[in-house]
Structure 1
């Protein structure tokens, strides 16, 4: 037996302790693809990575493995945004309801069978596809903004607790407020951070996010960075509309695969 392998096994999640080279290769390709999508569209890393990994691994493990890229990227964007304090004040009903809804949903979903989690993940992906495809045009009056934000936070937290995909509903809400580009980026990063932090804290508390998952997640940032670089090149050569359509078809295929898993 390879002694170096024995010493390194404790660093890996149970699913990777005896993993074949194909699983590691698949992990790298999935994160590179997720990075490519984020490089082209600016969003979409968990939307691509988590459902794809769920085809190879248990859904809670798939969610745990995106912890490092999600937390690091949103921490940086939050720090880099000058509008962070204003965003906290303006969107506190959304942020508080998102946090509470996530903390309530995670322990409930962890008790569900794997087949049910796969179906719920597929529904979350289909919801995201629908919002991206139809891009509903809504207008929210100023007096209803906080109430609408609380409802959006609750729905997004429930969706994020199941799949980590909090983004689609929140993006639709923020687009309805017609925020300027820099304000939008600052706002979405703060909200994502307050959605991701309780999600991964809850997974850690219930034993579904361990140091070994974080190790693999950090390693996976390398192919993700490669994908980001590739995505920036693709962005200048391929129409964003065409790329978005291809992505939607691809995600629909993933959702069907999850339903049949």
Structure 2
């Protein structure tokens, strides 16, 4: 029973990989950390298209879950009043919970090449959103419906491609969140979203305690990348670097779709 609790999707997948592929996975996580350290783009949007070349999308989504949670818990708790803040963003929180439950069910049911194609399309959509950086305001009567809808959409993107950030950022900015308030609200939604994703994976008997521990260990190379980026942060022009990164994501995501279509 103990062995079964630790045996899961990630353990079996990683065990079957060539050492070069394992090195590539570590490199992808470090690169994601470096990019986050320089321009604050989320680790998954950079790491996912690289990871998908070495492991199935389902396992990549699971692998990236704990680094996102562990990276956002301190920001979610910072400054106190976490529950009061959560009540103020109840609509997107409910949307993310339902979206992840449905999204994980969709992901588990997809054939690997279909999952890769859809994840690639979602990555392209996310990169284009980040490049365009659309800004608008939401009328007060539409705040809750928009929050639920965008939270739901963000969770679908999270559960299928591990990239909830762009839709959530659009919503929070549109409702006036700025600075520390924006960071705290985003962190709370992400923590709740990923926890729901892990529970959904677990309930579907597709994740184990061992998977969670492996995912948590994946935080180490991400943190290493962030530390490596510190001396680079002031030397690279952040805006230009951000554009280059997003262009890379677009190209890599297109390659994901091309590879999936040829499967």
Secondary structure, in 3 states, of the residue corresponding to 1:17? helix
TM-score by length of 1: 0.90
Aligned pairs, number: 253
Q: Alpha-carbon deviations, 1:90-128, whole Å to 9, x = none?
A: 110111111012112211221111111111101110111
**Structure 1 unaligned residues grouped into runs of 5+:** 1-8
Judge which range, 180-189 or 84-93, deviates more. Answer: 84-93
Secondary structure, in 3 states, of the residue corresponding to 1:185? helix
Structure 2 CA distance for partners of 1:187 and 1:111, relative to 1, 3 Å: same
The equivalent position to 1:68 in structure 2, one of 66, 69, 78, is 66
TM-score by length of 2: 0.90
Q: Post-superposition shift, 1:83?
A: 4.1
Partner residue, 1:25: 23
Partner residue, 1:199: 197
The equivalent position to 1:209 in structure 2, one of 207, 210, 213, is 207
Structure 2 counterparts to residues 117-156 of structure 1, below 5 A: 117-156=115-154
Flag as ranges the 4+ runs of structure 1 deviating above 4 A. 9-12
How far apart in 2 are the matches of 1:209 and 1:41?
Answer: 32
How far apart in 2 are the matches of 1:132 and 1:35?
Answer: 18
Q: Post-superposition shift, 1:190?
A: 0.4
How far apart in 2 are the matches of 1:10 and 1:97?
Answer: 31
Root-mean-square deviation over aligned CA pairs: 1.8
The equivalent position to 1:171 in structure 2, one of 166, 169, 180, is 169
Structure 2 counterparts to residues 83-162 of structure 1, below 5 A: 83-162=81-160
Judge which range, 153-162 or 113-122, deviates more. Answer: 153-162
How far apart in 1 are the matches of 2:231 and 2:11?
Answer: 34
**Structure 2 unaligned residues grouped into runs of 5+:** 1-5
